[in-house]
Amino acid sequence: MISIRRAVSGDAGQLAELVNTAYAVETFFVDGARTNAAEIAALTESFLVLERQDGRLVAAVLLEPRGDGAYLGMLSVAPEAQGQGLGTRLVAAAEALAEALGCAWVDLKIVNLREELGRWYRSLGYAAVATAPYTHRPVKQPCHFVEMRKWLRRDVAAA
């Protein structure tokens, strides 16, 4: 059984390990770990996590309300748990929380070289709205962010 909850400060180490393991697939274009325990510790309470009964975190996502919207980031699913719908489940929970907090949309960024992510997020209702430079870590090849948005409240999207 897997349950969902907000992350707590004691999760920072395990959460950093989860994120770095999930993002290891990006080593073809970027150098270095995605994050570290100090960065995660500062953000811990903004994460939702999926936890197994044994206490192991199998998925996580950052959700930060920003103005009238929210930012979704660092979606991470343990490699051995991928393909089971956990990412979809977690994104849906984050979107529901954002909507409950009064957010009209959810924004996120993906790296253009991760084309599978663009297809997946589009299948969840996200659309590309802009691009931005990639400056997070040293890169092995040119890349940039694709900024995506999903409207949660159609009354605002139509205005």
Question: How far apart, in whole angstroms, are the C-alpha atoms of residue 29 and residue 25?
Answer: 9
Q: Which CATH number is 55's domain given?
A: 3.40.630.30
Q: Is the pLDDT of residue 13 over 70?
A: yes
Residue 143: which pLDDT band, with cuts at 50, 70 and 90? very high
Do strands 57-66 and 105-111 pair parallel, antiparallel, or not at all (unpaired)?
unpaired
What is the total residue count of the chain?
159
Q: What is the pTM of this model?
A: 0.92
DSSP codes, 125-151: T-EEEEEEE--SS-BSS--EEEEEEEE
Query: Which two structure tokens, joined as six digits, stand for 110?
Result: 């993906």
Domain region containing 75: 2-157
Helix (H, G, I), strand (E, B) or coil at 155: helix
pLDDT(159) > 60:
no
- Sign of the Cα torsion 132, 87, 35, 29 reads negative
Record the tokens describing residue 149, joined without a space: 């948005």
- Domains: count for the chain: 1
- Going by pLDDT thresholds of 50, 70 and 90, the confidence category of residue 121 is very high
